[in-house]
Structure 1
Amino acid sequence: MSFKDLQLNKPILKALAETGYQSPTLVQERTIPLVLAKKDVIASAQTGTGKTAAFALPILQLLFDHQDESKKTKKIRALIVSPTRELAIQIAQNFKTYSAYTNLKTIVIFGGASIDPQIDLLRKGVDIVIATPGRLLDLHKQDQINLDYIEILVLDEADLMLDMGFIDDVSKIERLCPEEKQVLLFSATMPYKVEQLANSILKSPERIEVTPTSSVAKNVSQVLYYVPKQHKIELCLHLLRNTIKGNILIFRRTKFGVEKLEQTLIKNGYKVESFHGDKTQSDRQAALNKFKHGEANILIATDVAARGIDIHELDAVINFDIPNVPETYVHRIGRTGRAEHYGNSYSFCSADEKTYIKSIQQLINLQIPVEEDHPYPLDPKAKPIIHTSKKTGSKHKKGRKGKGSKSKKKRWY
């Protein structure tokens, strides 16, 4: 099948041809006709399946008739809500690429950047807004954005919005839009709360499932290292010196963990950048650019930050901390081995993370091969280390008198 078979118009096909895309991916093939038929859609599809184009292309086609209105009279007719700044920017870039030969105007709005330039862009007239929930609601509170004319609402990465605590904001945004609208919900996984949200806001939706979330990319080799928690950094250095080469993405659970590992690797002469939620937008973008342009070959990130990163030709993923949500493991290692490339994933499991590995293996229905030949093996009987503080009380026995006063038998009477 080609994009022509999907009833897309010439200006969109021309822009697509320039990107070099020849034929639609599975999620695009299934989603585009449904969106063009103005159906509500729930799509379960992971990052890297081409899902942005699956909603961007038909939205541009549906809005094409409104494009010749003058800028001042343009109304926002499509709203895409995205959990992170990086994802929002990436989606906006895709919309701008595909709409190159139309007069449709797209803008992206997100927190962590000045609000005034975003207000100026909104005032100039715009057809499509891509936004993170917090900034969108701020602009609405200030009466700077009008959602009364929304025809299509897209909720992208709904499961991540749930993880980040945005689900109530998303419900609020949906209520600010007109009741009669088309809703498209995309989510890599379908937890109960996302299902609940979908049931409350979508009308007779069509369901699309592309590659169940439990399936792991075929092009990724996985290996598991059991290692004491206190030796993970040494194991990481050992593997970087001897085994793992190329562009590497390392996942840590916390921002503190990211920074600690970054400092250690820099001291050992590695070119490293880091990426987490506390960094400003410009710092995050700079880190990503350095990694993409080869100025650093190691990027250390938390899961929330990494979900929006689009990196091609990633050689390896290291799970420095094992995720406690099994689906997160699938997302992480799916960052490598994309588009016919081969990739490797290395997971470091300490005694207290063994239950996480068990859940992951049940989900992916696969026993991850264990590498026992390394310098920091974990004792099979090792129990997780539980740090307890020693009780520090007074060394004196209870009572009002010390030893000295008790030895003086003389009384004053």
Structure 2
Amino acid sequence: SKFTGITCASAISPALKDYMPISKMAPVTDQVVIGTSGTLIKWITNKKLATRDIKILVFDEADHMLAEENFMSDSKRIMRDIQSSAGDCQLLLFSATFNEKVKDFITKVIKKGNQIFVKKEDLTLDKVKQYKVRVPDEIAKIEVIRDKIFEFGQKVGQVIIFVRTKISTKNLHNALTKEDYVCSSIQGSLDHAEREKVIQEFKDGYTKVLISTDLLARGFDQSQRSIWS
């Protein structure tokens, strides 16, 4: 928006220090609104975001927005509210993957939609080596990370470890901290400011190990990292 003159609003939950009751918010008049589904619903419900003039509705990472139960219910409500008041609203869905559940949902919602596919490139780079290590349980997994991955990773750069759940993030962080490793972790319960702080500290090299859910799985680039786990 800096060079185009287009005004934008960010619809995300504010940090506690910046909290303001929705009732005291001024109506949103920006041309583009970008945000999380939960906050958008609050704005629409409290009549801070009028839907009658919305011409384009975009879902990025649509496979998550339309496949996971919490996101799906929010997404369907937003679509319903906008379509009932705005009428002719263009719907755009972007994603690297679409499973059958999402495809079925899309065909029901978008009757005459156009599909645009980008050529799938080879996802494995020639210079990236991949290894699979089978472990019997979570304890053994931590031992492999400590004795094998860190032994190499600490010498050559930084390490990013992806886990499936927020609980796994917390448990692994605690286990490695007890082993005297300086770690940082990031997952969905952190607010935006906290996430940015963790990412920046890792980029600046203050921590060598970053543990994350798939929150960082897309669109994150860190040239110094040597190992993804």
Q: TM-score range by the shorter chain?
A: 0.7 to 0.9
Residue type matched to 1:160 in 2? H
Q: How far apart, in 1, do the equivalents of 2:45 and 2:187 lie?
A: 28
Q: 1:26-45 alignment to 2 at 5 Å?
A: none
Residue 300 in 1 paired to residue 211 in 2? Answer: yes
1:174 aligns with 2:174: no
1:187 deviation in Å? 1.6
The answer to whether structure 1 residue 242 and structure 2 residue 147 are counterparts is no
Instruction: Give 1:227 deviation, angstroms.
Output: 2.3
Amino acid at match of 2:7: K
Q: Is the 8 A contact 1:122 1:145 kept in 2?
A: no
Deviation at 1:147, TM superposition (A): 1.2
Matched, 1:123 2:27: yes
Q: Structure 1 residue 128: deviation in Å?
A: 0.1
Aligned to 1:146: 50
CA-atom RMSD, angstroms?
Answer: 2.6
Give the secondary-structure state (helix, strand or coil) at the position aligned to 1:242: helix
Relative distance call for 1:170 and 1:124 in structure 2 (3 A) is closer
The 3 A distance-change label for structure 1 pair 283 and 101 is closer
SS at match of 2:202: helix
Contact 2:28/2:49 (<8 A) preserved = no
For the structure 1 residues 195 and 139, does the alpha-carbon distance in structure 2 shift closer, same or farther, using more than 3 Å as the test? same
Aligned equivalent of 1:206: 114
Q: Deviations over 1:19-63 (max 9, x none)?
A: xxxxxxxxxxxxxxxxxxxxxxxxxxxxxxxxxxxxxxxxxxxxx
CA deviations 1:256-313 (Å, max 9, x no partner) are 322222123233343310012233333222211211211112110122x334662332
1:292 touches 1:311 (CA, 8 Å); kept in 2? no
Q: 1:231 corresponds to which letter in structure 2? A: A
CA distance in 1, matches of 2:11, 2:79: 17
Q: Distance in 2 between matches of 1:212 and 1:257?
A: 31
Q: 2:123 aligns with which of 205, 210, 216?
A: 216
Measure how far apart 1:127 and its partner are: 0.4
1:157 to 61, 64, 76: 61
Please point out which of 10, 13, 19 is paired with 1:111: 13
Gap change, CA 1:263 and 1:146, over 3 Å in 2: same
Stretches of structure 1 lacking an aligned partner (at least 5 in a row): 1-98, 319-413
Q: Is 2:217 the counterpart of 1:310?
A: no
Preserved contact between residue 153 and residue 183 of structure 1 (Cα < 8 Å): yes
Task: Write the deviation string for residues 383-404 of structure 1: whole angstroms up to 9, x where unpaired.
Answer: xxxxxxxxxxxxxxxxxxxxxx
Amino acid at match of 1:168: S
The percentage of aligned residue pairs carrying the same residue is 28
CA deviations 1:117-145 (Å, max 9, x no partner) are: 88877636310001211111111111111
Deviations 1:72-104 (A, max 9, x none): xxxxxxxxxxxxxxxxxxxxxxxxxxx322221
Please give the per-residue CA displacement for 1:363-382, whole angstroms capped at 9, x wherever unaligned. xxxxxxxxxxxxxxxxxxxx
Change (3 A) 1:123 1:198: same
Give the deviation of 1:155 after TM superposition: 1.0
Contact 1:106 1:129 in 2 (8 A): yes
CA shift, 1:105, in A, is 0.3
CA–CA separation in structure 1 for the residues paired with 2:182 and 2:23: 38
* 8 Å CA contact retained: 1:139, 1:145: yes
Q: Post-superposition shift, 1:316?
A: 1.9
Structure 2 unaligned segments of length 5 or more: list them.
Answer: none
Return the TM-score normalized by structure 1: 0.48
Distance 1:144 1:255 in 2: 32
- Mapped contact 1:107–1:121 kept (Cα < 8 A): no
Distance 1:106 1:119, change over 3 A: farther
Number of aligned residue pairs: 218
Give the counterpart letter for 2:228 in structure 1: V
Q: Are residues 1:277 and 2:188 paired?
A: yes
Distance 1:231 1:198 in 2: 42
Letter in 2 for 1:216: L
Cα deviation per residue 1:218-253 (whole Å; 9 max; x = unaligned)?
Answer: 243211112231321111111244323422210122
2:110 aligned partner, one-letter code? L
- Tell me the SS of whatever aligns to 1:183: strand
Alignment of 1:11-90 (within 5 A): none
Q: Does the Cα contact within 8 Å between 1:262 and 1:273 map onto a contact in 2?
A: yes
